[in-house]
Amino acid sequence: MALAVSRKAEAGRFGMLFVIGIYCLMPFVWLLLAAFDPDAGLFIKMPAEVDLSNFYRVFAQEDGFLWLFNSLVVCGGATFLVLVLSGFGGYALSRTRAWWKLPFLYSIILIRVIPPPALIVPLYQVMLAANKGMQTIVRATVPSDHYRETMRIVGFIDGYLGLILLMAALHLPLALWIMKTFFDTVSREYEEAAVMDGATFGQRLRRVLIPLAMPGLAASGLFAFIACWDDFLVPLTFISSPELRMLPLGIYSAFLRDNQIDYGLLAAIAVIYTIPAVAAFVLARRFLVQTFGGGLKG
């Protein structure tokens, strides 16, 4: 009797997990079916014909290549900046015994606690002031024919540089915490052995610290890249030129463009938008597990 009750309870748990799994998978199933269906609609259905016409339209009729390029440049640049700053910053915070270390760490994590929309207006004012200074410098040094192109690169508003700095600043605190925690698990004996062998700081950095820090850097980089990749508010607020439009804004503009929504086109853009984030996770998965599984043991 008890065995029968236990089997019924187990069957009930598996049934509940199955229903939750189906519920979670349905959006992804619709996305994949609609992306390859030239006659995709609102409701999920098996496509009568499977082809790549929706993807062709993204790149041939829309600015798919430009959106993808802009997204990779901005998110890649912000991730690189986060990796460099969090690597050196996390190492310094881990090794220092200063009294202000914990107050500093708690204060910077507040940036992650405050909702991003609450920061947009003061951030825009700061970036606008910096952009005016950059405009003065560019006007004084660059021919007027190339002014607009130069500002698209170095501008703090409607420019690559401003977007990269903003996204890096927003996602640096979490990366600093990850790297500081990771370096706490790395024994100082590795560095002391390198010093005893006469290694300079550059040699210790290249041959000891960076290889040891790879799992932490990969985890920090993954979180920073995915957070930048998912960001919609910052590009929407700080980009106005079509030449700088990123993939999230590409989906948004395609959604608003016509009276009748083109579900096939939207699904194809969404699939393209998803692939780099999934690829980044697959590449960094091993380091991610190692970092949050306890890191290195000293």
pLDDT at 3: 65
Cβ contacts of 4 within 8 Å, gap of 6 or more = none
CA–CA separation, 216 and 68 (whole Å): 27
Contacts of 215 (CB under 8 A, 6+ apart): 182, 287, 288, 290, 291, 295, 296
CB crowding 189-213: b at 16 or more within 10 Å, else e: ebbeebeeeebeeeebbeebbeebb
pLDDT the model gives residue 43: 79
Q: What pTM value is reported for the model?
A: 0.83
Answer for the pair 132, 111: CB distance below 8 angstroms, yes or no: no
CATH, range 18-289: 1.10.3720.10
Average pLDDT per run of 10 along the chain, which is 298 residues long? 72 88 88 85 79 88 89 94 92 85 82 81 91 91 87 91 92 88 82 80 81 85 89 90 88 78 87 89 76 53
Q: List the domain boundaries for the chain.
A: 18-289
Which residue's entry shows tokens 């016409």?
53
